[in-house]
Amino acid sequence: MLARTCKSGRMREGIEVRLRPGDRERLEGVVANRKSPQHHVWRAGIVLMTADGAGTMAIRVATGKGKPTIWRWQARYMQDGADGLFRDAPRGHAFAAASPEQVAAVVERTLHEDPPAATHWTLRSMAKAIRRMRRTLAPSTIHRNWREHELQPHRVETFKLSNDPKFVEKVRDIVGLYVNPPEHALVLSVDEKSQIQALDRTQPGLPMKRGRGATMTHDYKRHGTTTLFVALDVKAGTVIGQCMLRHRAAEFIRFLRLIDKQTPAELDLHLILDNYAAHKTEAVKRWLACHPRFHVHFTPTSASWINAVEGLFATLTKRRLKRGVFRSVIELNQAIRDYLDAHNADPKPFRWTAPADTIIGKHQRGKRLLESIH
> Tens of pLDDT along 157-198?
888 899 999 999 999 999 999 999 999 999 999 999 999 999
Q: If you average pLDDT over residues 76-102, what whole number do you get?
A: 77
* Percentage of the residues of the chain whose pLDDT score is greater than 70: 93
pLDDT given for residue 1 in this prediction: 43
Mean residue pLDDT across the chain:
89
pTM: 0.68
Whole-angstrom distance, CA of residue 347 vs CA of residue 238: 6
Nearest 5°: the CA angle 49, 53, 59 is 40
- Pick from 101-105, 182-186, 239-243: least confident: 101-105
Whole-angstrom distance, CA of residue 263 vs CA of residue 255: 12
pLDDT given for residue 117 in this prediction: 87
Which residues sit opposite 212 in a β-bridge?
209
Whole-angstrom distance, CA of residue 244 vs CA of residue 253: 12
Whole-angstrom distance, CA of residue 216 vs CA of residue 197: 17
Tens of pLDDT, residue by residue over 270-305, are 999 999 999 999 999 999 999 999 999 999 999 989
Whole-angstrom distance, CA of residue 71 vs CA of residue 191: 70
pLDDT given for residue 15 in this prediction: 72
Tens of pLDDT, residue by residue over 136-152, are 788 888 999 999 999 99
Q: Count Cβ atoms below 10 Å from residue 45 Cβ, excluding itself.
A: 20
Contacts of 220 (CB under 8 A, 6+ apart): 199, 200, 201, 202
Contacts of 305 (CB under 8 A, 6+ apart): none
Buried b (16+ CB within 10 A) or exposed e, 169-194: ebbebbbebbeeeeeeebbbbbbbbe
Q: Count Cβ atoms below 10 Å from residue 25 Cβ, excluding itself.
A: 10
Strand order across the beta sheet in which 239-244 lies: 239-244, 220-233, 185-201, 268-273, 294-298
Q: If you average pLDDT over residues 49-71, what whole number do you get?
A: 90
| Cα 163 to chain centroid, rounded | 30
Contacts of 267 (CB under 8 A, 6+ apart): 184, 185, 186, 293
Return the DSSP state at 209: B
Return the DSSP state at 212: B
| Higher-scoring residue by pLDDT: 97, 6 | 97
Q: Count Cβ atoms below 10 Å from residue 235 Cβ, excluding itself.
A: 16
pLDDT given for residue 91 in this prediction: 63
